[in-house]
Every structure is written in structure tokens, then in C-alpha cells.
Amino acid sequence: MKNTVKTVISKYIDITCESTIIVGFSGGWDSMCLLDIMKQLRDEEGFLLIAAHLNHNWRGEESEREKERCREFCEKNDITFVSQTLPEDTKESEAVAREYRYNFFMDCAEEFQADVVLTAHTKSDNAETILYRIIKGTGLNGLEGIRELRELNGVKIIRPILNFTRKDIENYCITHELFPNSDTSNLNTKYARNNIRHNIMPAIKTINSNIENSLITLAEIASGNNKIINELMQTIKDQITLGDKWLTQNFLILNSAMKQHFVYNLLLEYGLDPSYAKIQEIVNFIVENQSSKTGKTLSITSGTWLFTSHKYTYIYLEAGRKKIAEELKIEKEGEYTYADTYKVKITQNTKEIKVFPKSISNKVYVDLSQIGFPLTLRTRKTGDIIQPFGMKGKMKLKKYFINKNIPSHDRDLIPLLCKGNEVLWAVGVGVSEKLRAGNIPTHKIKIEKQV
């Protein structure tokens, strides 16, 4: 088993004395087996080995005793032990437990600058997962089961004992005189996976005693088919995306299966739940709002939104999209910083300009002779007006944004160069007629976001 584990890990990272490897360690049979194998490899290679134990705190003193046995095992074997105990009122849910567990692993990886996190999923776990997904309803991606490698927040998560059955693990622990924890909650069939393990799988084995291998074969077939599909979808993606946006009309000409698969992959990219219901909701939303000029938004999670218009469709996160309340007073030419976010540069110009920047540019050549300083850089306020380039009259800024097809969720984020309540330049959108310049503008203004 040790050689197999080393081979699997070596496919994804170089194991050296400089490596830091974290093992998710519950103290149960699977993780005890994996940690013991990694201890042997640590003794050979000299890397830093860390056991990460999350106490879900569902079973009171029993959970605490298990944590202490894990700590004792690590102290005895000179393994760095780190643990976290969840609040007593943590919801007893498999999904909640999984989320807390991986958040804990990511925190450990960041703290110890680890190369990788290892989890002790087995062939039996994989078969049960595939069966669970079939029962719940899944697509081809779900049939792939537990993958040997997953990346989360840039951290590699490897399952190096995925080719071994639960029986193999038990034999290893007995042979090496290991004494794993026996989690009584693993016997509670109110949890779906326990019900599958203790009731459904044994019943299926009366029909097919080799069901685990049959399900793993199904996963391999699904994986092969998915590779073909993903190659095709990458070609399609190149045709319908522009940066991180989709061209809505190009998306709409896809057949229904391609639409669904495209949305499925997008949700995966953002770490979201790619359930069939959510996929269909998104596809329907895009179809229903394909003619919207200014666009419509759909809440996917509490902080994640989908935007669609006749032109573009994309996902955006609410975090980091807050309106800047600060105002910058510009008294004269020079360089300024706005809200620690934008770099502003205003310089006098004496050159003839033959080709002016496009309206969506972050720089403009203007005539400030009639406007003069001071100017203000800020975000929009109630009562803002603008005289659009090429027009004689003024209009409310909101109407101007609507005419320019600016989505409502972007309007508060656009920097505005103003004189009082009159907008002279909406950066990246358009400039006011009041700044119209001849061949030799008086000034060049450039506003760029700092990285």
C-alpha cells in the first residue's frame, strides 16, 4: 500500500524534504491507515507531516475522547497535530460537516503553507458516493464519483487510497496493530450515506456481489465520455465567450444539452452547486431575458449573481463591489489617488490629436478652458445630470446609463469626473459634450484601476 500511496501522490507533487503535507485525520480506520503510511514515507523522505483533526462536536465527551486519542497517536509518532472543535450547536448534517471540514483544511494549508492536503477516501467510499448520486439524480459528471485529485483555492487535495476497499484498510490496520476510533455516528442510518453503507449496499450485493467494482467501472466510463464532451465544449466556449462574459445570442443558438453543460461547467468554476434544478433555472432565465437592453439579474447564492442582457451574460460576486463613498477634489493638474483604488493623472496637452480614444477608454483628451478647476471625482448621486457627447440638451445620469446599456449593478461603481452635480466624464462609458475638444485639446486625463 505504501508504494501505491507514494505513486499516486507523486503524480501531482514532488515529495521532498522541503514538502509540507497535511492529512485529514479523524482517527477512524481509513485516516489512521493513511496517516500511518504517510509517517513511514515521512521517515524516508523527511517532509513535514501534519495531522488535521476536526471535532464536529456532535457526540460530546465521545468526540473529545476521540480527539485526545488522535493527539496521543501523533505525539507517539512525532507527527504535528492540529485540531479545531466546532460549536455545540453546529447543525448535524453531512453537507454542513463537509463544508466545515474543507474550510478547516484550507485554513491549515494556509497556516502551514502546505503543498497538499490528503484525504482518506477509499474505493468503497467512491462506490457509495456514485450510488448516492444515482439515487439523488445526477448527470455524467456526477457519475465520475470522487476524483483522485481536486483543487480548492489553489490547494491540491489528493485521495491516495482511492483504489483500496474498506476491507483492505481494515486488514492493514490489524496487521500493523493500529487501534482506530470507532465513531458511533457511523452506525446511525438517519444519515443517507450510512443508510447506503449498512442497508442498501448489502441488499444490492445479494444481486451483484461485485457491485463496488461495477460502480467504479461506471465511473471510469463516465469519465472517458466527459473528456470527449469537455473537448467539444471547450471549442464551443471559445466561440461564445469574451473574457469572463458570454455572448448571449451565441449562447442561445446552442442546443438544450449544450446550454445545460455550459452552465454546469460555469457553476463548477465558481464552486457552486451544479444541481439540475439550478442549471435549468439559469438556462430559462437567460432565454426569458434575452431581449433585455439593460439586463436582468438572478440570485444564485446570497453573494453570487447571474447577469444577462441581449448582449452579455456573466456571473458576478457581490463581495468587492461596494460603492466608493469617498470624493476626490482635483484643484489642478497632477497625479492623484482616489480611494486607494484608482490612479488619476491630469496633464496639459499641446499636441495635435488625430485619433481620439474610444468612449470606453480609460483616458480622454478634453478642453477644460471653459470648465476650469476644481473638479471632483466620485461615484453617482441623486440628481446627477450629463450632456451626452454630440447632444445639445442634458439628461439625468440614470437615463444616460440606461441608454448606454449599463447594468444597474455596475452603475454605482463607475468613477465620475464632475463639476457640481454635472457629470463631465463617466469613465469607460462616455464624455460630456462640455469637454469636446478641437484638434489640440487642453488636457489629457487618464484614470486607471490600481492592481
Q: What confidence tens digit (pLDDT) does each residue in 353-379 have? A: 999 999 889 999 999 999 999 999 999
Question: Which of 317, 338, 373 delimits the end of a domain?
Answer: 317
Tell whether 311 and 352 lie within a shared domain: no
- CATH code assigned at 310: 3.30.465
Tell whether 167 and 147 lie within a shared domain: yes
Tell whether 26 and 112 lie within a shared domain: yes
Tell me the chain's radius of gyration from C-alpha atoms: 29
DSSP 27: S
Exposure string of 151-169, with b = 16+ CB inside 10 Å and e = fewer, is eeeebbbbbbbbbbbbebb
- CATH code assigned at 339: 3.50.40.10
Assess if residue 219 is contained within a domain.
Answer: no
Tell whether 179 and 310 lie within a shared domain: no
**Distance between CA 303 and CA 299 in Å, rounded?**
8
Asked whether the predicted pLDDT for residue 8 surpasses 90, the reply is yes
12 Cβ contact list (under 8 Å, min separation 6): 116, 149, 156, 158
Assess if residue 112 is contained within a domain.
Answer: yes
Q: How far is CA 351 from the centre of its chain?
A: 47
What SS3 class is residue 384? coil
Give the phi and the psi of residue 354 in degrees, each rounded to 5.
-90, -35
Asked whether the predicted pLDDT for residue 390 surpasses 70, the reply is yes
Q: How far is CA 188 from the centre of its chain?
A: 33
Does 441 sit behind a cis peptide bond, omega within 30 degrees of 0 on the bond before it?
A: no
**Distance between CA 187 and CA 227 in Å, rounded?**
37
Assess if residue 226 is contained within a domain.
Answer: no
Tell whether 158 and 271 lie within a shared domain: no
Tell whether 393 and 303 lie within a shared domain: no
What is the DSSP annotation of 151-211? EETTEEEE-TTTTS-HHHHHHHHHHTT------GGGG-TTSHHHHIIIIIHHHHHTT-TTH
Nearest to 401 by CA among 376, 427, 377: 427
**67's grid cell:** 480527539
Asked whether the predicted pLDDT for residue 139 surpasses 90, the reply is no
Assess if residue 363 is contained within a domain.
Answer: yes
Q: How many domains does the chain have?
A: 3
Q: Tell me the average pLDDT across 140-146.
A: 85
Q: How confident is the model at residue 183, as a pLDDT?
A: 67
Tell whether 295 and 169 lie within a shared domain: no
44 Cβ contact list (under 8 Å, min separation 6): none
Q: What confidence tens digit (pLDDT) does each residue in 52-78 have? A: 999 888 777 888 898 999 999 999 999
Tell whether 162 and 261 lie within a shared domain: no
What SS3 class is residue 36? helix
**243's grid cell:** 473574457
- For the chain, count helices (H), then strands (E): 15, 22
Tell whether 198 and 252 lie within a shared domain: no
- CATH code assigned at 207: 3.40.50.620
Q: 161, 34 in Cβ contact below 8 A?
A: yes
Assess if residue 237 is contained within a domain.
Answer: no
Q: How confident is the model at residue 23, as a pLDDT?
A: 96
Tell whether 363 and 289 lie within a shared domain: no
**Distance between CA 43 and CA 77 in Å, rounded?**
10
Q: What is the pLDDT confidence band of residue 320, given thresholds at 50, 70 and 90?
A: low
What SS3 class is residue 142? helix
Tell whether 88 and 133 lie within a shared domain: yes
pTM: 0.61
Assess if residue 291 is contained within a domain.
Answer: yes
Assess if residue 261 is contained within a domain.
Answer: yes
Domain extent, residue 78, equals 2-211
Q: Residue 427 CB: number of other CB atoms within 10 A?
A: 23
311 Cβ contact list (under 8 Å, min separation 6): 247, 248, 249, 405
Q: What is the pLDDT confidence band of residue 9, given thresholds at 50, 70 and 90?
A: very high
Tell whether 249 and 199 lie within a shared domain: no
Question: Which of 295, 317, 339 delimits the end of a domain?
Answer: 317
Assess if residue 224 is contained within a domain.
Answer: no
